[in-house]
Amino acid sequence: MMRIALVGCMVMNREISRLVSESKNVVRVWWLRQGLHDTPDILRAELQRTVDEIERENNQLPVHLRFSAIVLAYGLCSNGVVGLRSRTLPLIVPRCDDCISLFLGSAERYQRLFHEMQGVYWYNPGWIEQAFTPSRENYERQRAEYAQAYGEENADYLMECTNHWMENYQSCGYISCPLGDSPAYEAYARQAADDFGWQFRRFEGRMDYLDAVVNGPWDDARFLTCPAGCRVEADYSGRKIRSVPAGEETAE
C-alpha cells in the first residue's frame, strides 16, 4: 500500500473520486479548476504551488503518514506541466497530450482517433459539467454577457473573434462515462454537433489509464517518474515528457 498525493482537474472529479474510494492505496486529492490549460503559464504556476504545498505539509507529518509520491492527473496540457519540479518526492506524470487520452483509456487510442477524424472537438460529462463547452445555449449566454459589458455592436465583434477557432473543427466526439452515463449529456453533445454542422461520433469511455494514475503501475511507457530534485521537460521523441536535473539547461 502506498500513500499518494494526487493533483487533478475537476473535469475528472467523478472518475477519480470513484477510483480513490475503491483504491488499496491511501490517496488524498488536491483539485484544480477546469480551464487552466487555456493559460499554460497559470496552469504551471498553480500546479507548482500545489506541489510545493504538498511537500510542506508532508514534511510536517509523522513519518508513517507521509506521502511516497505526488501524482498529476494531467498530460502535457499545452505544456503546462513543463518545468514542474518536486524537491523531496517523485513526481508522476502521464505521458499523454491531455485528459482526452485519460478519458479514452490510452494515449494510443487518442492518437488513432485523432488521425481518423478531422478537426474533432471532444465532449464528455466532466467537460459538460465543469467547462465552457460549445453550444448554442452557452454562446447565447456569452453574447449576453458581452452585450451587457461592452454594448450590442461590440458584442457581435467579440463573438466573431472569440469563436473564430471553430472554423477548424468538423467533428464532435462524445466520450461516455464508464460509471454510468447520462442520456442528457449525450443529447447535449448531439445538439451542439447539429448547431455547428459537425459530424457526431460516440465513443465508450474507459478507466484503464485513470485507474493506473490512482493505483499504478506507473510503467515507463505510460508515465514519467520525475525524481526529487529533477524537473519535467518536453520530449519531442514521442514520449511527450522527460526528467532532467533541476539545474540543467534544456538541450536545443
Do residues 29 and 73 make contact, with C-beta atoms less than 8 angstroms apart?
Answer: no
Residue 248 predicted with pLDDT over 60 = no
Condensed to tens digits (0 to 9), the pLDDT of residues 126-149 reads 999 998 777 777 777 778 887 888
Q: Which grid coordinates are listed for 126?
A: 466532466
Residue 198 predicted with pLDDT over 80 = yes
Condensed to tens digits (0 to 9), the pLDDT of residues 56-69 reads 999 999 999 999 99
Condensed to tens digits (0 to 9), the pLDDT of residues 36-54 reads 888 899 999 999 999 999 9
Percent of the chain exceeding pLDDT 70 equals 96
pLDDT at 251: 43
Residue 153 predicted with pLDDT over 80 = no
Examine residue 40 and say whether the peptide bond preceding it is cis (omega within 30 degrees of 0): no
The mean per-residue pLDDT over the stretch 190-213 comes to: 95
Condensed to tens digits (0 to 9), the pLDDT of residues 165-183 reads 667 888 999 999 999 878 9
Taking the C-alpha atoms of residue 150 and residue 66, their distance in angstroms, rounded to an integer, is: 51
* Amino acid identity at 183: P
For the ranges 6-10, 20-24, 235-239, 241-245, the lowest mean pLDDT is seen at 235-239
Residue 101 predicted with pLDDT over 50 = yes
Beta bridge partners of 85: 231
The mean per-residue pLDDT over the stretch 80-95 comes to: 97
Pick 162 or 195 by higher pLDDT: 195
pLDDT at 247: 74
Beta bridge partners of 31: 8
Backbone angles phi, psi at 244, to 5 degrees: -135, 155
